[in-house]
Chain A
Amino acid sequence: MSLNIFICGVGGQGLVLLTTVIGNACAKSGIKVVTGEMYGLSQRSGAVSVHLRIGEDAFSPLIPYGKADILLSLEAIETLRYIEYLKKDGVVLMNKRIMHPPIETSKLITEKGSKYINLEDIVAKLKGWTQNIAVVDALELAKKSGNVRTENSVFLGCLSALEVFGVDEKSIRESISEAVPKRTIEQNLKAFSLGKQSAHDSLCTLVPCRPLL
């Protein structure tokens, strides 16, 4: 297996945990994995990103431009910020959620005619790159699972819906159970299942997906 995943989002969304879950599952399954992680500073609300590379012939911790198979984005605007890493016709797994940076909001009240970027704009732009886009309402699914802080597990589920993601579901679920606080294991696993369903529904006619159990 050789797979490049570019993961991005906003500080505080649990990207580090998401990366750790995949990495630990790979370590257990004897799969080579390397990452390059950028958390910015320790504040919340800044842009964060992770290059995650699976397979024997992945050397650099950074994905070459246009070589990511999957762009996984926990915040909609951030998807566009790193689009150069995604290969043409690659898969986008993106959150429906937009977190408008304060600079954008302050422009809205100081500059006449200025408006927020919206989901439709973002998806339309992304379609200039790929048609394989799953827009996931991760916050809603996280709430449904009983814990708003499980958006990252929703996306682990999304990944597991894809055939190209060769880490088996069982080890990902085990790895989640080991990485999250004990009292939130069930919520995270539920979020995982909801995420898998959601990505499957959006993508199964476009790219090879695993059957839902």
Chain B
Amino acid sequence: MVLKDVLSKETKSAFMLGNEAIVRGALEADVKVVAFYPGAPTSEVLDIFSAALGSFDYQMEIATNEKVALEVCAGAAFAGIRSLTAMKSVGTNVASDTLFVLGYTGVKGGLVIVMADDPHAHSSQSEQDGRFFAPNTYIPMLEPSSPQEAKDMVKKAFEVSERHRVPVIIRTVTRINHQSGIVQLDEMSRSEFKKVKWKELNEEYTTLGSVARQKKLRMLERTAKIAEEFDRSEFNFTKQADSDVGVITSSVSYLHVLESLKMLKLQNEVNILKLGTTYPLPKKTIENFIRNLKKVIVVEELSPYLEKELCAIAKDTNPDLKVFGKKSGNFSEAWEYNPDIVAKGIASALDLEYGGHETIVEEASRLKEGIPDRYPTFCAGCPHRGTFVALNRALKIQVAKGQEHYFSNDIGCYSMWIFPPISRGDSSLCMGASVGVANGLSHVIEERIVAVVGDSTFFHASIPALVNAVHNGNKFMLLVLDNSVTAMTGQQFNPSTEFIAGGRQGKKISIENICRAIGVEFLEIVDSYDVKSNVEVFRKALDYDGLSVVVSRRECALYGDRNKRRRGEKIVPFYVDKEVCKRPYVCLRTFYCPAYELDEDRQPRISPELCDGCSVCVRLCPLQSVKRTEVKA
């Protein structure tokens, strides 16, 4: 994160991450209210705004979930204040209830929603294509292909939003948010933050029944006007060639197209239409582009969103046009693209020889045979590791007694429990769903159900499902892993932290108080590192004939390390005393800490660079062979 360039008063070229460019664009556009729930690949937008809070005059919230974040921004925009939120693909699902209504009510101040899809599901539970939200909600959408365009579009989106009194979606994909490039910084002129008088604005934002019916008509008129405007937008442009073949593309696929045409030596042989305003689509621009073409290749990741629209337009404008895309089988709806995939697709559409990348990938895979996978894993010192060792032991004892289990996992670092070598989990859906499905399962399966959520997920979407469980008398065990922060996305603050955006003091919300207030009768709070005594607590919770909640608490190791460094405390690593260790391998069989490896004598060894000094393995070792390194005074 290069905060310096984001804050810079200079107008110069800077090397910026897509997410940094988004923040810079919003600051240049004088944004006044921002709110987020973190989610890859947008989390840096939140982090940068939080870090920049001391330097500029704006209000910021790290909200409990994406819906609340959007509503915070909507509130500001109703009063004419510019606001921005950013969310990952699936976060939009949570916010969508509000999103749909905002299409009807509109806004006064510019409201920009950055929605980041994740083709390839790099860090998501699905490859959801969020573009369909735009036509569904009648909310305009812009799609950048680079950090520079992301910045330009954010600024333009505020103007479009205010001109047409409607929120605007900036739709990115992981390869935009996490793409860096050279960005031209424009002038940063910020106005003073001032409250406004609501009464003087003479605004209303209601919609229901007959009011909604009237607003629907206005929404359609608005969309037609925006479509006209988008037909003149600089974000849609063509690269002309003396040829009857064209490519229509948008987002990062545009860059892959340029690269692949270079690879195929077709750089000046194919016309390109690059679309930046993908809802409403610039129909006239598309008509003009395809009118004299014989073949069009549509290059877009995930669903055939542009392709279907294009086919509809071509039916009237150029019925003989041959369209190549997903329906024709030249491209797949699965997984993200790269230059090789796009080159192959284009070559196949044009019946060209393509050397192909399969040979090189195949040759590489032969060399790679036998190399170990590196799954995401719990960090050294992670409290979840301790919790799960204890839970596993408790489950084992229960199994021996004849009790079997269903493990309902959720979204957070603990999701990684589904990866080897742990490989545990009967289901894992989306934020808070572990508790929701536990309710249903409790009616129909004989096994004892264990549902797991983290602190951030608890506040985000689990509370309604927990209230439901208490109210209906549903029986299962809920394990809340409270590590004080939203760890998986970069240790952002949440209601379980005593801080709020910008590191300011906030009010910490007690998970156990919420449980008590709603009538949870079995409630235990344990220290995640305290493996041995936790086994007994978990066993009781499993045996309990009702809803049992255990809060396993210990701050995230990375967050804790940062705090330790700030306080000037040293992280003291442990080592295995080879004289004492008789190699029962308890550490390696159950603990799976990345700081552990075997030395040349097959003796466990702790890498001092990786050890976090958490001491949990010390508590597990039956021979007391793990010792603290002596620190020289």
Binding site for B on A (CB under 8 A): 10, 12, 19-20, 23-24, 26-27, 30, 32-47, 57-66, 77-78, 80-81, 83-84, 99-110, 116-117, 125-126, 128-129, 139, 148, 178-179
Contacts and interface: CB of A to CB of B under 8 A. Distances in A.
B175 A43 contact: no
B367 A24 contact: no
B265 to A, nearest CB: 13
Contact of A109 (B357, B378, B490, B588): B588
A62 B175 CA distance: 9
B182 A27 contact: yes
B377 A62 contact: no
Given A33-B15, A43-B413, A61-B179, 17 more contacts: A12-B379, A23-B15, A26-B182, A27-B15, A30-B13, A34-B146, A40-B123, A41-B376, A43-B382, A44-B558, A45-B376, A80-B371, A81-B368, A103-B592, A106-B589, A109-B589, A129-B364
A120 B296 CA distance: 51
B180 interface: yes
A102 B357 contact: no
B372 A42 contact: no
Interface string B235-271: 0000000000000000010011011101100000000
A105 B588 contact: yes
A99 B610 contact: yes
B181 A35 contact: yes
A61 B420 CA distance: 31
Nearest to B585: A109
A178 B14 CA distance: 14
A46 B589 contact: no
A105 B364 contact: no
Contacts of A60: 252, 255-256, 258-260, 338-339
B340 interface: yes
B15 A37 contact: no
B179 A37 contact: yes
Given A59-B255, A64-B340, A109-B588, A80 B374 contact: no
A134 to B, nearest CB: 19
B40 interface: yes
Contact of A57 (B13, B175, B182, B262): B262
Contacts of B2: 20, 24, 179
Contacts of B609: 139, 148
A179 to B, nearest CB: 8
Nearest to B252: A61
Contacts, number: 198
B543 interface: no
A42 B146 CA distance: 23
Interface stretch (B29-37, B205-213, B468-476, B593-601): B593-601
10 contacts: A34-B146, A43-B488, A59-B255, A59-B258, A64-B357, A77-B371, A99-B610, A105-B588, A117-B370, A117-B372
Contacts of B491: 42
B373 interface: yes
Interface in B349-398: 357, 360-361, 363-365, 367-368, 370-380, 382
A83 B343 CA distance: 20
A80 B367 contact: yes
Contact of A62 (B13, B180, B256): B256
A7 B597 CA distance: 25
B135 interface: no
A139 B364 CA distance: 28
Given A24-B2, A129-B367, A148-B609, A37 B178 contact: yes
Contact of B179 (A34, A63, A64): A34
Given A23-B15, A42-B490, A44-B594, A77 B255 contact: no
B487 interface: yes
B372 A34 contact: no
A99 B595 CA distance: 9
Interface string B48-73: 00000000000000000000000000
Contacts of A59: 255-256, 258-259, 262
Contact of B360 (A19, A65, A128): A65
A-B complex: 4 closest residue pairs judged by Cβ atoms: A23-B15, A84-B364, A104-B372, A59-B258
Given A20-B15, A108-B598, A109-B585, A77 B372 contact: yes
Nearest to B372: A104
Contacts of B585: 109
A125 B367 CA distance: 6
Given A59-B258, A105-B596, A45 B377 contact: yes
Given A64-B340, A105-B598, A46 B178 contact: no
A38 B15 contact: no
A46 B376 contact: yes
A80 B2 CA distance: 31
B602 interface: yes
A41 B40 contact: yes
Contacts of B223: none
Contacts of A63: 339
Contact of A61 (B4, B175, B368, B607): B175
A183 to B, nearest CB: 12
Given A27-B13, A46-B374, A101 B594 contact: yes
Contact of B368 (A26, A35, A80, A178): A80
A41 B488 contact: yes
B402 to A, nearest CB: 27
Contacts of B489: 41-42
Contacts of A23: 15, 180
A39 B40 CA distance: 10
A52 B375 CA distance: 23
Nearest to A76: B371
Interface string B109-150: 000000000000011000000000000000000000010000
B361 A65 contact: yes
Contact of B596 (A46, A61, A102): A102
Nearest to A102: B592
Nearest to A178: B4
Contact of B374 (A30, A65, A77, A110): A77
A27 B333 CA distance: 36
Nearest to A175: B15
Contacts of A106: 421, 588-589, 592
